[in-house]
Structures are given as C-alpha cells and as structure tokens.
Amino acid sequence: MDHSLNNIWNKTLDILSSELSKPTFDTWLKSTYLAFFNNNVMIVSVPNEFAKDWLQSRYYNIIKNTLQLIINHNIDLYFYLPSEIETYLNDNGKSQVDESDIHIQEDDNYINQNPVLNTKVSKNLLSFLNPKYQFDSFVIGSSNRFAHAASLAVAESPAKSYNPLFIYGGVGLGKTHLMHAIGHEVFSLYPNLIVLYVSSETFTNELIKSIRDYKTVEFRNKYRTIDVLLIDDIQFLAGKESTQEEFFHTFNSLYEANKQIIISSDRPPKEIPTLEDRLRSRFECGLITDIQPPDLETRIAILSKKAANDNIDIPDEVLLFIAKHIKSNIRELEGALTRIAAYAVFEGKEINSELAEKSLQDIFSSNNNRKITINLIQETVAQHFNVKVTDLKGKKRTRNFAYPRHIAMYLCRLLTDSSLPKIGDSFGGKDHTTVLHAQEKIETSLQTDVELQLSIKKLTETISSS
C-alpha cells in the first residue's frame, strides 16, 4: 500500500482508537486499511460483507469526518471488499492502488498531523469534536446529573456561569462526552466564538514543537486568542514543569480576558501529584464537579439508548444481564453490547440471555477469578496517584508519597484478609504499627473529607472490578 495512504490511515486509526471502545475498534477497524485515494474518492478495504455493512451504517460519519480533518478537504468515502476494489480499479483504468498518479504528496506535511491544532485559528474554526458526543445523546443519572447541568450552563453562557469548570472522574464515565457536547453547543449557539478542544498531551507536543521550530509566538497567539478552551486529561501535565509554566500563562491570559476554560481530569486538583500550587489554586477557583460510576438504572438506560441508536434488537433481560455484570465503565458497557450483537450475527442467531452469557464468558470468568491482592491494590493506587509502586514501598514522607501510601494500606486492611505484619512487610518492611496508624488516619479523615470519600469509593470499585 502507498506510503502516504499508510500515514493517513494510521493517523485515522490512532484517533478512532481513543474515540471508540476497545472491543468496537478491535472488531471492526483492526483489519481495515486505506486502499485508494484519488480525485477526492477514498476507498477503505474491509475483510467481509458484514464489516462493510456495519461500518457503513454505524461508523460512516465519524470515519469520514476524521479523514477529512486529517487531509483538510472533503472526500467521498466508500467501504469495499478487496474484490470490489479490484473491479473499481480495472473499471477506472488503475492497475494497482499505489500508482504514481494517485494524487497524494509524498511530503508528510500534506497530512494534518493533528486535526485540531494544525487548523488555523479563525472565526470559522471547526474543532475536532466527535459528532456522537452531544448533550442529547448523554444519558443523565444520579451519578452525573450535576456535571451535566454545569456543563450545559457553561455551554449556554460561556464565561458567565462557572469559570473554570473542572470535571473529574474515572476512565470511560463520560467526561470527554461532556467536553465535546459543550463544544458542539457553543458552536450552535455562538457560531462566531472560537472553540478549541485539545488533550493535555497534544498541548505538550505542540509546545515542544514550537520551541524546537522557534515558533513560540505563534503557539501563544493560537492558544490565547480563543474564546472557549476545552482541555482534556489535565493530569498528564503533572511533572512537566515547562508545560505547566506555559499553561499557567495561557490560563491567566484567557481568564483575565473573560474567556471560558473547561478542564477534565481523572482526579480532583488536590490529588494530581507534582502539580504546581499556583495551577492547583487556579483550577480550584471555579466549579469542581465529578462523575461517578453509573448506578444500575443508568447503566440500563445507557445500553438501551445505544441499542436503539445502533438498531440492535435486544431483550430487556439481556440489557439487565450486561448492566449487572459491568458496573464501573460506560465504554465497557457499550463494548459488551457491540460484542453480543456481532456474536449474534456471526452465529446467525437471535440475541438472548444464553447467547449473551456465552459471548461474554471470557470477560466475566477473568473478572470473577481475579482475587484482590495487596499487589493489585498497590498497582491500582499507584496508577491513580501517578506514582510508582516502589514509591508506595519506599520511605519518602512527603505528601505526594505518604498520602497514597496510607490509602493503599487502608485499602489492604479493608479489602483483604492480610494481617497487619504481612501488609507492613509488603510495603517495604514497615512495622505493623505503621499500617495501623495509616488505617486510623484515613478512617479519621474520611469522616470530614468528601474528596477522600470519593477517592476511596472510586478505588474500591476499580479494584473490585479489575
């Protein structure tokens, strides 16, 4: 396949892998490739007829929009089987897909390496927003009602309601959905405003590139002349001093100009390690709201809505079966539904409880067989607080390390049958009195510290569902 076609499709898959659940991506996109591009016609090769129909009916818009943003112009997109591609090429005088007359420049600059940030900021800026993620497709429940209301208020009145708005919660709970929904709503209500959605990783990469290419002035002009900034996964700025410095000044510039800032993270500001205090205080000066794992009723509603959107005929008892077994992650919920639907088609059977259980048995069996251990707790807590397991076992007493260490010890007491001496030994040979002190300290703090309560709840659910 042509080198430039590879570049375009690899970039497309990179983006789609972050927007779709892993089961969906693995099932429908892993075996595809971009086979042809000429005169605004793009052909994606698919392995079978079912994949062709599924991608055409359910994912056409997001794939087409992604491709158009990457190459910076409109296309006509088709999904073809290899035999159909050969017929198309023969009918159009093409003998192979990578002939030199396919109008793709070999220069990689032809490809928009980042669809959002390489787009020139203007009054007509179209940020890379997923068309699926809008307010009317967001399922509201007790776990996300306040976050949804705050997001809608910000979208309807930018820089007037809550500024900044800081949304935090675990992976796959809907933070990114709300971020994109805010962007769509602002575009709809205020078409003249400049809206930019970007991840903290992309912000960092753009900054590094601007320093390397001596274009820091252009970088700053881009980020400081927008009206609404949506920055996702801010926790990844932790430990990056120069990036934090730049974002601090960007934040101040926008805030002082009365521009709206929306930030998402997997944890509240005070739990982001090695985050500068001046940034932490900026994040805390607005509204902080969290999204919790959905309750059973909300999980069923999410599954029901996705089934309706994807035209999947599925009995209520199967929706209940999925919702009862997958509790902490919306992406996993939707991925399980997609897997059941695909399994039914491949087997040529209607969806029922028996088929659902069979198609998901490997997921459930691996979950049920995994015992909660001290190692599992240490790994989960270390990941949550962005520290190393060796830090939890070490002797450093600064808050960045002592706080997660105490929480990990407390959870070991709460979730395992291990004795105090065994837990202490697993934390670098600590005395059992150290473990007892950590347990008592966390128990005392839990009586008044709401954010600690939420963190313990989230960690417990993550560990239990791992």
pLDDT digits (tens, 9 = 90+) for 62-116: 898 888 888 877 888 999 988 788 777 766 655 333 333 333 333 344 444 444 4
**Residue 325 confidence (pLDDT) above 60:** yes
Q: What share of the chain is helix, strand, coil (3-state, %, to 5)?
A: 60, 10, 35
Name the DSSP letter for residue 130: -
Q: Tens digits of per-residue pLDDT, 166-193? A: 999 887 889 989 999 999 899 888 878 8
Q: Residue 317: its pLDDT value, please?
A: 92
Q: Residue 114: its pLDDT value, please?
A: 44
Instruction: State the average pLDDT over residues 404-431.
Output: 88
More confident residue, 197 or 123: 197
Fold of 3-110: GMP Synthetase; Chain A, domain 3 (3.30.300)
Spatial contact of 272 and 238, defined as CB atoms under 8 Å apart = yes
Q: Tens digits of per-residue pLDDT, 22-47? A: 777 888 898 898 888 887 889 999 98
Domain range 374-465, CATH architecture: Orthogonal Bundle (1.10)
Strand order in the sheet with 41-45: 33-38, 41-45, 76-80
Q: Residue 110: its pLDDT value, please?
A: 41
More confident residue, 206 or 465: 206
What is the signed CA dihedral for 36, 41, 42, 47, rounded to 10 degrees?
-80
**Residue 127 confidence (pLDDT) above 60:** no
Q: Residue 349: its pLDDT value, please?
A: 84
Class of domain 296-369: mainly alpha
Q: Residue 58: its pLDDT value, please?
A: 80
Q: Where are the alpha helices (DSSP H) in 190-261?
A: 200-212, 216-223, 241-256
Q: Can you tell me the distance from the alpha carbon of 82 to that of 320, in angstroms, rounded to the nearest whole number?
A: 40
**Both structure tokens of 435:** 């473990």
Q: Residue 393: its pLDDT value, please?
A: 92
Q: At what angle do helices 432-446 and 450-465 cross, to 10 degrees?
A: 120
Q: Residue 370: its pLDDT value, please?
A: 56
Q: At what angle do helices 432-446 and 399-415 cross, to 10 degrees?
A: 90
Q: Can you tell me the distance from the alpha carbon of 264 to that of 368, in angstroms, rounded to the nearest whole number?
A: 32
Give the range with max mean pLDDT: 28-37, 100-109, 124-133, 342-351: 28-37
Which residues, in sequence order, are CB contacts of 263 under 8 Å at separation 6+?
164, 165, 166, 167, 231, 234, 283
Strand order in the sheet with 260-265: 195-199, 228-232, 260-265, 165-169, 287-291
Q: Residue 445: its pLDDT value, please?
A: 85
- Quote the Cα angle for 77-346-172, to 5°: 65
Handedness of CA 273, 278, 283, 285 (dihedral sign): positive
**Residue 216 confidence (pLDDT) above 90:** no
**Residue 458 confidence (pLDDT) above 90:** no
Give the range with max mean pLDDT: 215-224, 255-264, 321-330, 349-358: 255-264
Q: Encode 63-122 in three state secondary structure.
A: HHHHHHHHHCCCCEEEEECHHHHHHHHHHCCCCCCCCCCCCCCCCHHHCCCCCCCCCCCC
Which is the CATH superfamily of the domain at 135-291?
P-loop containing nucleotide triphosphate hydrolases (3.40.50.300)
Q: Residue 128: its pLDDT value, please?
A: 62
Instruction: State the average pLDDT over residues 326-330.
Output: 79
More confident residue, 345 or 352: 352
**Both structure tokens of 392:** 């939890």
Instruction: State the average pLDDT over residues 300-319.
Output: 89
Q: What residues does each domain of the chain span? A: 3-110, 135-291, 296-369, 374-465
Instruction: State the average pLDDT over residues 147-172.
Output: 92
**Both structure tokens of 163:** 């500024």
What confidence category does residue 274 fall into, taking pLDDT thresholds of 50, 70 and 90? confident
Spatial contact of 381 and 408, defined as CB atoms under 8 Å apart = yes
Mean pLDDT rounded to a whole number for the chain: 82
Spatial contact of 320 and 314, defined as CB atoms under 8 Å apart = no
Q: Where are the alpha helices (DSSP H) in 270-397?
A: 277-284, 296-309, 316-325, 330-347, 353-359, 361-369, 374-384, 389-393
**Residue 408 confidence (pLDDT) above 50:** yes
Name the DSSP letter for residue 239: T
Amino acid letter, residue 411: L
The reply to whether 374-465 shares the fold of 3-110 is: no
What confidence category does residue 119 fall into, taking pLDDT thresholds of 50, 70 and 90? very low
Q: Residue 88: its pLDDT value, please?
A: 74
What confidence category does residue 18 fall into, taking pLDDT thresholds of 50, 70 and 90? confident
Nearest to 113 by CA among 56, 63, 62, 71: 71
Spatial contact of 234 and 272, defined as CB atoms under 8 Å apart = yes
**Residue 301 confidence (pLDDT) above 90:** yes
Q: At what angle do helices 241-256 and 216-223 cross, to 10 degrees?
A: 40
Name the DSSP letter for residue 292: P
